[in-house]
Structure 1
Amino acid sequence: MNNSSFIPQFNDPTINKIIRHIPPEELPKEQNSLIFDNKNGIVEIALWNNNTDEHPFHMHGHVFGVMFVGEKNEYPDEKKYNKKNPVISDNVTVPGFGYLVIRFIADNPGICLGFSLSY
């Protein structure tokens, strides 16, 4: 997120810090935590994959629309987004050396988790 790869802190996970009411802005950058407080509630995320393997991505607490899937050396262009009938899911695969753009309505208060598994 924001050009920062997530680095887990196994001795004190992010969820524990949030439960202790530590504000996201006080967490280390590599924890990739933020507060989204927008009454319109639409979040757009571009997920980039910088290696050859495909990676699954799953988000707890929300479903999202897949707006665009891009290949290497291709960049997001909102004019090409599928706004009429995007695939709606909570799980998607980011292609090797590619990216995708998702949008979701942030109407589920609390902690949500997005993750990608390496395998």
Structure 2
Amino acid sequence: MQAQACPISPVVDIVFSRWTTPILWTLHHHGRQRFVELQRRIDAITPKVLTQRLRQLERDGLVVRTYHPTVPPRVEYEISELGLSLAPLFAQLAHWAEDHLDEVERARASYDAAGRPLSS
């Protein structure tokens, strides 16, 4: 197996895609939920994308899907033990955001005021 330039790249690919973080965050903070509940709590996500992301998270072992054979059938999603193990990482990121996002915004404003382009 070839060594990677950055050993955390696979984790970033798994956890920090566009919708994965909001889904995991929502399941962690609100507990087990049905599809519609999740969709309501996560602004602007389409049903198709939510379905795709939930399937991928289930495949990765971060979310557990429970099918209840009732009439009508009921499906619930919850964060798995493996998913819960990401909680300290998310807490650290939330702390970093609280402490540093203002600095990031000031740096952006300073960069933009200097008239430098983002790409060449």
Q: TM-score range by the shorter chain?
A: under 0.3
Larger Rg: 2
How high is the TM-score relative to the length of structure 1? 0.26
Task: Give the structure, 1 or 2, with the largest relative contact order (CA under 8 Å, sep 6 or more).
Answer: 1
- The structure in which a higher percent of residues are helix is 2
- The structure in which a higher percent of residues are strand is 1
